[in-house]
Structure 1
Amino acid sequence: MRFRLVGLFSLLGAVLLVFGGAVPVVAQDRGALAADLDAILSAPGLVDADVALVVRTLDGETVYSRDSNRRQQPASNTKLVTSVAALDILGPDYTFETTVHAGGRRHGPVLDGDLYLRGTGDPTMLAADYDTLARQVAAAGVKFVRGDLVADDTWFDDVRLGASWAWDDEPFSYSAQVSALTASPDTDYDAGSIIVRAAPGQDGKAVVTTEPPTDYVTIVNTAVTGPAGSANTLDVSREHGANTFTVTGSIPAGGAVTSRWMAVWEPTGYAAALFRAALSRHGVRVLGRTTSGAVPAGARVVTSRQSIPLRELQVPFLKLSNNLHAEILVKAMGRAVSGRGTWSAGLAAAASRLPSYGLDPARLSLRDGSGLSRMDQIAPDQLATLLGAVRDRPWFPEWFAALPVAGKADRLVGGTLRSRMRGTAAEGVVHAKTGTLTGVSSLSGYVTNKRGEQWVFSMVTNNSIGVNLKALEDVVAVRLAQEGGGARIATPDLAAEMSELECSWEKAC
């Protein structure tokens, strides 16, 4: 479910008390650590919540465990499994290809047939990339297409939304539709989305634009420009089953541009519309309609584009917890293993690799790749096992570097942890994946403590009501990082509610 941020506050000021200077550095045994963690996890706000935590050494010794063998909804910690399986199955050098094909005979500048745009799921395709493809078609000498522009998205199936995804998330970019032919509005690569921007106007109205500009969507603008200093009440909604976006509310005069990342309805048509507009700009006239279908045998490749390799895509995928990247990778795995670009085939392919990481697929249930599904179930013990086992893979250093890093301000370093644990023992030494849904929070990854030991840990909380679980996770992570030092911690203050979405989904981090 989608909720607004409630009660933004300084995490560290509210939950962590570090004593410096006069406090001596005292070596702490694991009994002291266990007692501290027990105390932290006994905070009054956690009554009736399901809190699970496991901490292990790199050789598998359990440092601490609390209910960690119980399956939980993992939220975006699911992406740990998806990313590892994708690197295993597809390989770090895997790329997505987008191609343009010509069907029929060519007579000079005239193509007496259809022009095909074929995708394999590339989430990094921008409007500029479709423009480049169109320019290359023109450079190849094609000026007139007597037939249709045909969008081929058959590399994947046509099931656009995942199992048990919330209906009220559907208009927003973090819950966009999955297609083998899609487009992103920015270099976060929010596939299947546009950015709706509103700015103060001169005539009492707000000025609304989209990125990228496209006639695939219709904007209904009733938003107004309010007095300077007035509240910003802008809101954007999308009509179900259509691409009509309604902008309402007020933006103050002199105020900053307000942006909303919104999912389009049917991303295949969106990509085709961007390409058709680009063809027109480059002097290529398509006489027929825009339709959909498969590229026929014998159609000639006019031009193509390769995406960045998977090793590089891991950065925006994991740092920013990009849901569409996860689901595209699931379907790509299915296509690679069984020739079927479906959720069921991809998840089966991923499950087949889990035993090599010490996981029993029968003891977990994954229904999507991102963790949006409320049907996903995995135990923190299993996540910790994965984190330990993945270290022997040749691509581990790059995968590890793609995890969010606590307190690092650079968005593509700190990711969803960039504003958390700053100025603490955990800054820069906690590399972990976050997860957030209503009532659910998770944090799993690696921590290097004051003794120089690196541990794996996984913390997953379900069934929470009205408390800030991120504050709890931060106190736990800081305490783990402090092990071997002399700092002490305060009991976490969980009074303020946490966001119900990953911060990156609202572009808040």
Structure 2
Amino acid sequence: MRLGRWIHAGAMALGFGLLLSGCASPSKTATGQSLDQLLADPALHGATVSLMVRDARSGNTLYQHNPRTRLVPASNLKLLTTAAAMDVLGPHYQFATQLLTNGTQQGERLVGNLYLRGLGDPTLQFADYQALAAQLASKGVRQVQGDLVFDDTWFDAERLGVDWSHDDESTYYGAQISALTVSPNADFDAGTVLVTAKAPVRVGQPVGVEIFPPTDYLQLSNRAVSGPGNTYGINRRHGTNLLQLSGAVAPGKQSKQLVSVWEPTQLVANLFEQALAQQGITVLGRRVIGGASPAAANVLAEHRSAPLQELITPLLKLSNNNMSEALLKAMGRQSTNSGTAAAGVVAVAGFLKRQGLDTAALNQVDGSGLSRLNLVSSQTLTDLLLAANKQPWFNAWYNALPIAGNSDRMTGGSLRYRLRGTPAQNNLHAKTGSMGGVSSLSGYVTDAHGQRLVFAMITNNYVVSGAQVKALENRVAVALANW
């Protein structure tokens, strides 16, 4: 998946040389034979590759290698999820978060319960919750004579995807899913907090720790010190919000790391209670987690996200898992009034069937591709890319894909360091995917004659470095750009 924001900066620097060395331009008369030669690279010995290239206008097959072999797609699965969401939810769909009451306002008192109802928005930040509290205060409310209910029932209570690895549990890309969540940043890494460790100049001294958004929902066991070795790390103990810091941070330096929380709804509760207190609003009743808002409750304040046609840009550029899972469950809720991943998968399958795709040829269990139970072929992915090309929302979706070699983070995304100085730079629009032993690249590229091609390449079960496989993907992309 995002694997430390695609690849750690240090590993990226190492891999960049490999990627560039793998981008020597082939002949402009590149043929299927040249692709055969690329796939015969020793780095792929013992691995399985599914590759298909087609003309974007006619759909004609130009090259294929194991096109119907189903493989683990990693984040290429987001192509299915986001394309379906643009159809099922619509480009103008917005997530909403509401403050409601079943009571009445009597002067400065709200007599009745106050409900904070989340409808799945993965883009909410602490400032947005503060703004909701401010809207309530602007109505003159200073006291709630009832319970404060945090309603996350729009989605089910399954916080993790099917078959997600326990190793990912505390990472930002494996964060828990809730209909009522919060992100610490504008990348919308919902369900996480940003932990900053600052090392004193004096060696051996404990690091200082800051958490954002500021909260006492998490506890710290801080054994990290100022010192050499770059051994600093954070682990969240399973089933808790105890963060265990260990190792060393270089003297005078700092380290920032996103860490997922256990039960994000509870984190929202902690933060929103802070926001109410900042506005001078007191709650006399209990905190209730997971209660449903009454159907007849009145809306006091509301926050709406940006429309989906804008949200897919950070999702696809940065390969955001939590946003993908929120979209999947939102599709389930929209289609069958069930905010589950399973219902979302059925909604995706419905979209694919409407486009004439064979849904029996794939297996999808989550929205992001983090599960290794997902299985897709290059045939299916190119079928999807061809179908998307005919949709009224295609341009927004196409532009949201990472663009090769473009250094702007929200343009190049996960491809911004790749394929620079090649015919694929600012040409290739494609989704990347990375997991242990899994790499994928699928999208659109314009050839030497100005014709747009669609392609999908999925590689599984390799034992070389991921950088070597991505170097081969780059060579394939350059061969297509020179077709």
What is the CA-CA distance between 1:271 and the residue it aligns to?
A: 1.2
Partner of 1:78: 77
Partner of 1:213: 214
Which residue among 246, 255, 258 is the counterpart of 1:258? 255
Determine the C-alpha separation between the residues in 2 that align with 1:8 and 1:53. Answer: 23
Determine the C-alpha separation between the residues in 2 that align with 1:355 and 1:115. Answer: 43
* Cα-to-partner distance string for 1:458-491 (whole Å, 9 max, x where unaligned): 00011111232111101110111122xxxxxxxx
* Cα-to-partner distance string for 1:381-420 (whole Å, 9 max, x where unaligned): 1100110111111110010000000000111000010111
Give me the TM-score of the superposition, normalised by structure 1. Answer: 0.89
What is the CA-CA distance between 1:148 and the residue it aligns to?
A: 2.1
Partner of 1:90: 89
Partner of 2:156: 157
Partner of 1:68: 67
Q: CA 1:371–1:403 in 2, change beyond 3 Å: closer, same or farther?
A: same
Give me the TM-score of the superposition, normalised by structure 2. Answer: 0.94
Whether 1:338 and 2:345 are equivalent positions in the alignment is no
Which residue among 259, 264, 267 is the counterpart of 1:267? 264
Point out where structure 1 has 5 or more consecutive residues left out of the alignment.
Answer: 20-25, 484-509
Partner of 2:397: 399
Partner of 2:446: 448
In percent, how many aligned pairs have the same letter? 47
Contact 1:358–1:386 (8 Å) recurs in 2:
no
Partner of 1:493: none
Contact 1:11–1:420 (8 Å) recurs in 2:
no
What is the CA-CA distance between 1:202 and the residue it aligns to?
A: 5.5
* Cα-to-partner distance string for 1:101-154 (whole Å, 9 max, x where unaligned): 123333211122221100000011000000000111111111111222110001
Partner of 1:428: 426
Partner of 2:376: 378
Q: CA 1:222–1:450 in 2, change beyond 3 Å: closer, same or farther?
A: same
What is the CA-CA distance between 1:297 and the residue it aligns to?
A: 3.5
Determine the C-alpha separation between the residues in 1 that align with 2:20 and 2:392. Answer: 40
Q: What secondary structure sits across from 1:156 in the alignment?
A: coil
Deviates more, 1:305-314 or 1:447-456: 447-456
Contact 1:96–1:122 (8 Å) recurs in 2:
yes
Determine the C-alpha separation between the residues in 2 that align with 1:424 and 1:160. Answer: 42
Contact 2:119–2:154 (8 Å) recurs in 1:
yes
Aligned residue type for 1:427: Q
What is the CA-CA distance between 1:27 and the residue it aligns to?
A: 5.4
Partner of 2:23: 16
Aligned residue type for 2:186: T
Q: What secondary structure sits across from 1:10 in the alignment?
A: helix
Aligned residue type for 2:358: D
Which residue among 226, 235, 245 is the counterpart of 2:233? 235
Partner of 2:183: 184
1:297-312 → structure 2 map (5 Å cutoff): 297-312=295-310
* Cα-to-partner distance string for 1:212-271 (whole Å, 9 max, x where unaligned): 111111122221112xxx33221011011111111111111232x211111111011111
Partner of 1:322: 320
Which residue among 54, 60, 64 is the counterpart of 1:56? 54
Whether 1:280 and 2:277 are equivalent positions in the alignment is yes
Point out where structure 2 has 5 or more consecutive residues left out of the alignment.
Answer: none
Contact 1:12–1:422 (8 Å) recurs in 2:
no
Q: What secondary structure sits across from 2:324 in the alignment?
A: helix
Partner of 2:388: 390
* Cα-to-partner distance string for 1:331-376 (whole Å, 9 max, x where unaligned): 1011111111011111111101112223111111101111111111
Determine the C-alpha separation between the residues in 2 that align with 1:141 and 1:242. Answer: 38
Whether 1:195 and 2:194 are equivalent positions in the alignment is yes
Q: What secondary structure sits across from 1:99 in the alignment?
A: strand
Determine the C-alpha separation between the residues in 2 that align with 1:233 and 1:139. Answer: 49
Count of matched residue pairs: 470
Aligned residue type for 2:282: R
Partner of 1:35: 33
Q: What secondary structure sits across from 2:31 in the alignment?
A: helix
How large is the RMSD of aligned CA atoms in angstroms? 1.6
Determine the C-alpha separation between the residues in 2 that align with 1:11 and 1:140. Answer: 60
Contact 1:11–1:421 (8 Å) recurs in 2:
no
Determine the C-alpha separation between the residues in 2 that align with 1:13 and 1:457. Answer: 21
Deviates more, 1:108-117 or 1:376-385: 108-117
Partner of 1:124: 123
